[in-house]
Structure 1
């Protein structure tokens, strides 16, 4: 049996694009970064985010466009407020492009039921979460029809989204 690809594998095999669509208002509320942020405790973001920044920056250096689009409810949850404050360290530092789209502007868009990563328009990694935002598994898909749906959904959100530098959580 072949081992399931890791993010290191997925980014290592990626040549053109890695797209990530996030649509939840809470993720991993027990994560150390969020807990420290919520409690007002200093948290070393640089060390915490270093493995992700290294992974993404390596792909970006090879010419891979890494884009992340986030659909958020407004007013935003505490987790989204935290995520927004961490984006410069966790995402932008590695070369990701990040946009935010208020959920109220998505009613006419066909969006998949789960967050996903789409690598080179050939492989999707859908992520599943529990009701409180904790990771609950994932599944891979290479069905061309599903890839087409997810690519269209991502691009529609991206087109309407607000660049991280200009988005102010309300």
Structure 2
């Protein structure tokens, strides 16, 4: 058994984890403008809406969950696979290496499942932030327009040139 080559299933999960981490880092980076935030968030959302991508992601997540459960079971009873008794004994180099490999695989699968949930939440938060900033921009524009209109209006009942502070002196 060659331990230096990673199995294809684990390689797929590692690549999926790297892709998830890349998307999370991309989405949490400071954005130069709200338009960039919207474009990036919409790109990730549209990518997730495509049927092929969605099915591939769910298939990899199912594989991830299966490997996670398998690895948890292997770590819970590490000597079961070796047909050794559970009495205390010195761990050989091969058993230690197997334990370290299972631990690494647990980090890969657990991290991938966790990062997927984080990615899902970040896309949701970023899209809501984009919508709210667009709404604030619309309201600020409407406020400026209204302020400009109201600045041209002379209050009624006060002669031009008289102060509008409530201290009007009638003639």
Question: Which structure's residues are more often strand, by fraction?
Answer: 1
Fold similarity call, TM over 0.5:
no
More helix by percentage: 2
Higher RCO (Cα < 8 Å, 6 or more apart)? 2
TM-score (norm 1): 0.27
Larger-gyration structure (1/2): 2
